[in-house]
Amino acid sequence: MARVDAIVLGAGIVGTSVGLHLAKRGLAVALVDRRAPGEETSYGNAGVIEGNTIFPPAFPSDPVALLRVALKRSPEANYHLSFLPQVAPWLIAFHAASRPQRLMETVRVMRPLFARAVAEHETLLAEAGAARYLRKEGWLKVYRSDRAFRALKREFALAQEFGIPYRPLDVDAARALEPSLTPVFRHAVHWQGVASLTNPLAVTKAYAARFAALGGVVLSGNARSLRRTDEHWRVETADGPLDAGAAVVALGPFAPDVLGPLGIKLPLGIKRGYHRHYRGAGNAALSRPVVDTEIGYCLAPMEQGIRLTTGAEFAARDAAPTPVQFDRLLPAAKGLFPLGDPVDAVPWMGSRPCFPDSRPVIGRAPGQDGLWLAYGHAHWGLTLGPTTGRLLAEMMTGQTPFCDPAPYGAERFNR
Ligand SMILES: Cc1cc2nc3c(=O)[nH]c(=O)nc-3n(C[C@H](O)[C@H](O)[C@H](O)COP(=O)(O)OP(=O)(O)OC[C@H]3O[C@@H](n4cnc5c(N)ncnc54)[C@H](O)[C@@H]3O)c2cc1C
Q: How far apart are CA 97 and CA 357, in angstroms?
A: 5
What beta strand segments (E) does 51-193 contain?
77-79, 134-135, 139-143, 167-169, 187-191
Q: How far apart are CA 298 and CA 41, in angstroms?
A: 16
Ligand 1 atom at minimal distance to the Cα of residue 13: 25
Q: Give the residue ranges of DSSP H helices in 128-246.
A: 146-150, 153-162, 171-177, 200-213
- The predicted structure's pLDDT at residue 68: 86
327 Cα: distance to centroid of ligand 1 (angstroms): 25
Ligand 1 atom at minimal distance to the Cα of residue 38: 49
Which residue minimizes the CA distance to atom 50 of ligand 1? 45
- Per-residue pLDDT tens over the stretch 150-181: 999 999 999 999 999 999 999 999 999 999 99
- Total count of residues recorded for the chain: 415
150 Cα: distance to centroid of ligand 1 (angstroms): 33
The set of residues, in sequence order, having a beta carbon less than 8 Å from that of 396 and lying 6+ positions away, is 6, 22, 246, 248, 372
- Per-residue pLDDT tens over the stretch 330-347: 999 999 999 999 999 999
Which residue minimizes the CA distance to atom 20 of ligand 1? 381
- The predicted structure's pLDDT at residue 339: 97
Q: How far apart are CA 135 and CA 121, in angstroms?
A: 12
Q: Can you tell me the mean pLDDT for 129-153? A: 97
Confidence of residue 415 (pLDDT cuts 50, 70, 90): confident
Ligand 1 atom at minimal distance to the Cα of residue 46: 8
Question: Any residues with Cβ below 6 Å from ligand 1, and which?
Answer: 10-15, 33-35, 39-42, 44-48, 50, 222-224, 250-254, 257, 273, 275, 309, 350, 352-353, 375, 377-383
13 Cα: distance to centroid of ligand 1 (angstroms): 7
Confidence of residue 73 (pLDDT cuts 50, 70, 90): confident
Q: Which of 338, 307, 310, 336 is nearest to 323 (CA)?
A: 310
The set of residues, in sequence order, having a beta carbon less than 8 Å from that of 344 and lying 6+ positions away, is 276, 277
Ordered DSSP codes for 376-414? -BGGGHHHHHHHHHHHHHHHHTTPPPSS--GGG-GGGGG
Ligand 1 atom at minimal distance to the Cα of residue 39: 49
10 Cα: distance to centroid of ligand 1 (angstroms): 9
**How many other CB atoms are found less than 10 A from the CB of residue 256?**
19
- Per-residue pLDDT tens over the stretch 276-328: 999 999 999 999 999 999 999 999 999 999 999 999 999 999 999 999 999 99
